[in-house]
Amino acid sequence: AQTVTQSQPEMSVQEAETVTLSCTYDTSENNYYLFWYKQPPSRQMILVIRQEAYKQQNATENRFSVNFQKAAKSFSLKISDSQLGDTAMYFCAFKIWGAGGTSYGKLTFGQGTILTVHP
Amino acid sequence: DTEVTQTPKHLVMGMTNKKSLKCEQHMGHRAMYWYKQKAKKPPELMFVYSYEKLSINESVPSRFSPECPNSSLLNLHLHALQPEDSALYLCASRRKGGAYTGELFFGEGSRLTVL
């Protein structure tokens, strides 16, 4: 079974500063995806960034970047130049890559980190 | 069109009522999901449909009955619910095959209150 752990229930940051959200996971699989999802108070879950486990290069999407350490099973999210609109609950999530078997359909979420950006 | 549309946005029902939640996507995705989410908690998987067939049922009580009439539509039929079933119900879809990226696309959710 896969597990995802987010050890920071809540974090806060000043506008324009940088913040890092932590995520660790446990799996015996070698091929998988890791995701960071954002759920603002308006509640729609939105994909922030995706990382394929076979890629060594860390994914980046504008102000969002990840530090993917496969051996350490760590997948942190860095938000640069934080904006008020970044205030949300952030979920780290894991999904096995491939087809076949019921476990391949599942997206496993961490407990989430509530991020508040202060003006 | 990259939307997953859920209706209704809010639903209040008594424990003896029968109601349904509806989810629609027109992205050609062939996997669709129902999740239940309590406040400040991660979504909990309930059901997964793959090519219109139920592929995962996470031991959900029978008072929740999913239905996938076609590749674009997913329903969740509700009957004899309990107050603890009050939650946000999220629908999601995922591409299968082709340019597969693994990500799920979520709707805004249906906020259910059981009295």
- pLDDT digits over A75-106, tens only? 999 999 999 999 999 999 999 876 555 556 78
Best B103, B105, B108, B111 member to test A by mutation, with max A CBs in 10 Å, is: B103
Residue A118 Cα to chain centre, angstroms: 21
Q: What is the pLDDT of residue A43?
A: 75
Chain B positions touching A114 (Cβ under 8 A) are 40
Q: Is A84 helix (H, G, I), strand (E, B) or coil?
A: helix
Is residue B99 very low, low, confident or very high in pLDDT (cuts 50, 70, 90)? low
- How far is Cα B56 from Cα A48, in angstroms, rounded to an integer? 26
Name the residue of chain B whose CA is nearest to A5's CA. Answer: B42
Beta carbons of B57 and B34 less than 8 angstroms apart: no
Q: Is B100 helix (H, G, I), strand (E, B) or coil?
A: coil
* Residue bearing the bigger pLDDT, B99 or B72: B72
Beta carbons of A45 and B43 less than 8 angstroms apart: yes
Is residue A2 very low, low, confident or very high in pLDDT (cuts 50, 70, 90)? confident
Q: DSSP secondary-structure letter at B113?
A: E
Q: Is B26 helix (H, G, I), strand (E, B) or coil?
A: coil
Neighbouring C-beta atoms of residue A85, cutoff 10 Å: 9
CB pairs under 8 A between A and B: 56
Backbone dihedral angles phi then psi of residue A70, each to the nearest 5 degrees: -65, -45
Is residue B101 very low, low, confident or very high in pLDDT (cuts 50, 70, 90)? confident
- Does B101 contact A50 at a Cβ distance shorter than 8 Å? yes
